[in-house]
């Protein structure tokens, strides 16, 4: 259900809905660099820290939500759906802070969905 509302909200404001595979296409190879955080996709094209030789090129084309929560850029935390790990209240607060920071700084180009993870979440909710 969450994915549905993300889709409706993104379509209503003319933004794209990305899967993790589609987001990966914006890793700079096509000239565009996007990152995702807490359901939103941001355009970081031309931002020096996300370019090769910058501080964070390893984040481009990825959902960095869980990595930010864990304060880690290890590959195992990138592209991990937040439903797959249990974030503490402090980690959730960190994600919200990062999302607010990114929203102020970069253009939002869409939303990200995880159809498989959302199906699993719906199945769990039905079991309750």
CATH at 45: 3.10.120.10
Domain membership of residue 24 as a residue range: 2-117
Which carries the bigger pLDDT value, residue 29 or residue 15?
A: 29
Q: What pLDDT is attached to residue 81?
A: 77
- Of 85-89, 93-97, 107-111, the range with the lowest mean pLDDT is 85-89
Q: How many domains does the chain have?
A: 1
Q: Does residue 95 surpass a pLDDT of 60?
A: yes
User: Does the pLDDT value for residue 6 go beyond 90?
Assistant: no
- Per-residue pLDDT, 114: 81
Q: Strand 34-37 and strand 40-43: pairing?
A: antiparallel
Q: What is the rounded CA–CA span in Å between residue 34 and residue 128?
A: 37
Q: Label the pairing between strands 40-43 and 107-112.
A: antiparallel
For 30-51, what is the mean pLDDT? Answer: 96
17 class by beta-carbon count within 10 Å (0-12 exposed, 13-18 middle, 19+ buried)? middle
pLDDT, tens digit (0-9, with 9 covering 90-100), for 36-46: 999 999 999 99
Is the residue at 123 inside a domain? no
Q: Which residue has the higher pLDDT, 84 or 68?
A: 68
Q: Residue 42: phi, psi to the nearest 5?
A: -115, 145
Domain presence at residue 76: yes
pLDDT, tens digit, 9 for 90 and up, residues 71-86 = 988 888 898 877 778 8
Comparing 8-12, 57-61, 97-101, the range with the smallest average pLDDT is: 8-12
62 located within any domain: yes
């Amino acid at each position: 259900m969450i994915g549905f509302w993300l889709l409706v909200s993104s379509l209503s404001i003319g933004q794209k809905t990305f899967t993790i595979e589609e987001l990966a296409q914006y890793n700079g190879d096509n000239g565009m660099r996007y990152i995702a955080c807490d359901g939103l996709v941001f355009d970081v094209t031309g931002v020096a820290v996300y370019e090769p030789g910058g501080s964070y090129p390893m984040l481009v084309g990825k959902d960095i939500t869980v990595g930010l929560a864990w304060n880690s850029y290890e590959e195992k935390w990138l592209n991990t759906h937040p439903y797959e790990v249990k974030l503490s209240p402090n980690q959730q607060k960190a994600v919200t802070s990062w999302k607010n920071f990114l929203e102020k700084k970069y253009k939002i180009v869409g939303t990200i969905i995880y159809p498989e993870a959302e199906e699993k979440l719906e199945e769990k909710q039905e079991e309750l």
